[in-house]
Amino acid sequence: MRTIRVETSTATILLTEAPEPKVRDRQTGEVAKDAVSGEALMKVGVVYIDEGESALIHVTVPESGVTEGLALGSPVSLPGLVARPWESVFNGQQRHGIAYRAAAVTAGAMAGAGA
């Protein structure tokens, strides 16, 4: 499916869940890896606020993209944020959603980000 770049220059993004390994298989606890680099993947929870609306989202980032100084409730930047629509059938049930991925999660807002 198509990957859609997410414009973050006017958004306020606040960390709501600390980075933790993204689990590929819940039964075995296997950590998800990047298909190209093989690097372990992490997930973070953020609230994305823009134009008077907000959404709680989980964003996948490579382990090397998780920077020091992240504090719950503080502004963060998500360089290279993209959204990818997905759908699948699980136990006979049709499921769909949007997966978010960024190159990194860094402390502080990006230059030009709105408050």
- Can you give the pTM of this predicted structure? 0.86
Question: Which pLDDT tens digit goes with each residue over 65-98?
Answer: 999 989 999 999 999 999 999 998 888 899 999 9
Report pLDDT digits (tens) over 32-56: 999 899 999 999 999 999 999 999 9
Contact indicator for 6, 82 with CB cutoff of 8 Å: yes
